[in-house]
Amino acid sequence: MQTAKYDFMGKRRIFFGISAAIIAVIVLCSILFGVQMDIQFRGGAMLTLGYEGEIQLSDVEEAAKEVLGSDITVQSSDSATGQKAITVSMPGSETMSADELEDLIAQLNEAYEANNFTQLETSNVDATMGREFFIKCLVAVVTACVLILIYVWIRFRRIGGLTAGTFAVCALINDLIVVFGCFVILQIPLNGNFVAAMLTILGYSINDTVVIYDRIRENRKLMGNKLPFEQLVNLSINQSLRRSVNTTVTTCIALAVVCVVSVVFSLSSIFTFALPLMIGMASGLYTSLFLATGLWVEWESHRAKKASK
């Protein structure tokens, strides 16, 4: 009878501890650093300005505060034409009036004549609409998790599909928390990239989990009840390990290249999507191999002990 090379399930509680520690760090960072929300979620105004030459963002921010008030931020940005650009964000319920826009551009061009500031794009988002959009995004994520649970339940119903699906979703939630933590720690405002990264990770991570569950189902069909469930799962992980690792590593290498290119060319919108996605994929590999399966084994072990008593 084939045996497992590595005893992963024997160390499953170590993996539980690692996941718990990561979540605790993310929660602590959220409390200490706060969670930033982009304008599209909390409302406000956003202005994109093109410019020439070189600028000091801090100086431009101070000049903009004299016109728009103190509660604004200025960041380097990307433009569709490849022109150098900055984004002036003014969060809250107030919108940016045409007079304020004209005053801002006039004052910047007066203070920095060589930079030739021009308006590229302006958008105003109502605070109520921003909150509604954020809630709809969360509903989309929750709906995806529920559908995944139903899918795994049906597909693996002969080996305990509901239990398998529940712990697969628990592993997915861990991955989503890791992606959230990446945004918090890097001080990236939650925006459309955040939602896109979360939905991408849901699909990618559950694919890894389903591959391992398929192997567990096949081994159960081949071996019946000859192996205890813990050994069966451990064997299945060892058989799937190389494929899962290679798939994730190659994807992460591609994303790492995207991150480097985005840094070199100052494409911040691409970087803030690619980096959290890469970290989320690494987390997805870890949780698929060790967390979803480990929780399942722990539950079955608990049931067996309870039944024996």
User: pLDDT per residue over 252-275, tens digit each?
Assistant: 999 999 999 988 877 777 898 999
Compute the average pLDDT of residues 110-125: 84
Its pTM stands at 0.84
Residue 95: per-residue pLDDT: 66
Number of neighbouring beta carbons within 10 Å of residue 190: 19
**Domain at 9-38+129-308: CATH code:** 1.20.1640.10
List, by residue range, all CATH 1.20.1640.10 domains of the chain: 9-38+129-308
- Fold classification of 44-125 is Alpha-Beta Plaits (3.30.70)
Tell me: pLDDT of 2 over 80: no
CA 200 to chain centre: 8
Q: How far is CA 104 from CA 98, 162, 227, in A?
A: 10, 58, 73
d(CA 28, CA 53): 41
List, by residue range, all CATH 3.30.70.3220 domains of the chain: 44-125
Q: Nearest 5 degrees, angle CA 74-CA 78-CA 84?
A: 80
pLDDT above 70 as % of the chain: 94
In a 3-state reduction of DSSP, which class is residue 217? helix
Are 234 and 223 contacting, i.e. CB atoms less than 8 angstroms apart?
no
pLDDT for 26-51, tens place per residue?
999 999 988 888 877 877 788 888 88
φ, ψ dihedrals at 190, nearest 5°: -65, 125
Sign of the CA dihedral with 66 first, then 72, 75, and 80 last: negative
d(CA 68, CA 90): 8
**R_g over Cα of the chain:** 25
Are 127 and 90 contacting, i.e. CB atoms less than 8 angstroms apart?
no
